[in-house]
Each structure stands twice: as structure tokens, then as C-alpha cells.
Amino acid sequence: MSTGKALALGAISGLRSASGPAFVGRAANRGDMDLDGTTLAFLGSPFLSKALTLAQLGELVGDKLPATPSRTAWPPILGRAVSGGLVGAATFLSEGRRAATGAIFGCSAAVAAAFAAENLRALVVEKSGLPDLGVAVAEDAVVLLVGSRATSKAAR
């Protein structure tokens, strides 16, 4: 189960870099993801969980701004890779598995999803005539749905 969660949370980190850590932080804070006694236990702290949620909300807005750089430019893609690796490691640690393996899955999913989603978004806008803003909001909905599903108790 942790492999699928790591891939899902890594992928949403590729779309919105703050979302994966925000979902993990909330899940750890409410006890749905057990990080107690691990090196990533700090993700479940109430303060950090709230701060990550604020960062997530800020990114959901910031993604729509014209000055926002491409998610596949070097600084953003590196941040997404780190974010995906972090959530992948947390997912594996929460199930008693090796953090490094989870980090590889999460990081890989984040990078792949960032490139795929950027190209898909441009293609949908070009071929459908839909405004970029509308496609971006649909992308947000996917991020929120996948993150909620991956960190819910039912996903265990």
C-alpha cells in the first residue's frame, strides 16, 4: 500500500509542490499517518501542519499568476523533486519500510508528473480552447482529490 501512496503523494507534489507535504502533515497530525519515533515525526506537529496548509493554499493561488515560472524550470523542478522525496519517505516510514525507497518513488513520481502535467495542461488549453485558468483549477481539483484519498483512513 505504501508504494501507491508514495507515488500518488509524489505525483501531486509534482503538480503543486506544497500539497504533498501539507497532506502528509495533516494526516500525521490527526493520527492517520504514524510518523511518531521517526526522523520525520516533525511533519505532524500542529504548527508545521498549519504552516504547510497555508503554503499549499498560497501555491494554489500563486500557480494562476502570470509571473509564476514553469514548474519544469530548474529551481521549481528541484523543489518538486525534494517535496516528492519527502512525502515518499514519510509514507514508507509510516508503514515501517525504508525511507530511501519511498523517497525514490516519491521523487520520481513528482518529476514525471510535473513534466506530464505541464504538457497536458498546455495541450488541453490549445486543443479545447478552454482558458488556462479553468484547466489550472481542474488540476487543483485533481491534486486535492488525490491527496485526500491517499491520506484518508480508507487508503490504509
Is a pLDDT exceeding 80 seen at residue 153? no
Indicate the domain borders of the chain: 2-155
* 58-85 pLDDT, tens digit each: 999 999 999 999 999 999 999 999 999 9
Which of 90, 113, 114 minimizes the C-alpha distance to 102?
90
Which of 81, 100, 83, 80 minimizes the C-alpha distance to 39?
100
Which of 101, 109, 120, 92 minimizes the C-alpha distance to 146?
109
Residue type, 69: P
- Joined together, the cell numbers standing for residue 19 give 500539497
Q: What pLDDT does residue 98 have? A: 98
Residue 115's pLDDT band (cuts 50, 70, 90): very high
**pLDDT, the chain, mean:** 96
User: What's the mean pLDDT in 15-28?
Assistant: 98
Is a pLDDT exceeding 70 seen at residue 156? no
User: What's the mean pLDDT in 13-33?
Assistant: 97
Q: What pLDDT does residue 1 have? A: 74
Q: Which backbone phi and psi does 61 adopt, to 5 degrees? A: -80, -50
Contacts by residues 27-31 (CB-CB < 8 Å, ≥ 24 positions apart): 27/151, 28/90, 28/94
User: What's the mean pLDDT in 99-106?
Assistant: 98
Contacts by residues 37-45 (CB-CB < 8 Å, ≥ 24 positions apart): 38/90, 38/93, 38/94, 38/99, 39/93, 39/99, 40/86, 40/89, 40/90, 40/93, 40/99, 43/90
Residue 155's pLDDT band (cuts 50, 70, 90): low
Euclidean distance between CA atoms 95 and 126, whole angstroms: 42
**Residues in the chain, overall count:** 156
pLDDT over 90 for what percent of the chain? 97
Q: What pLDDT does residue 154 have? A: 58
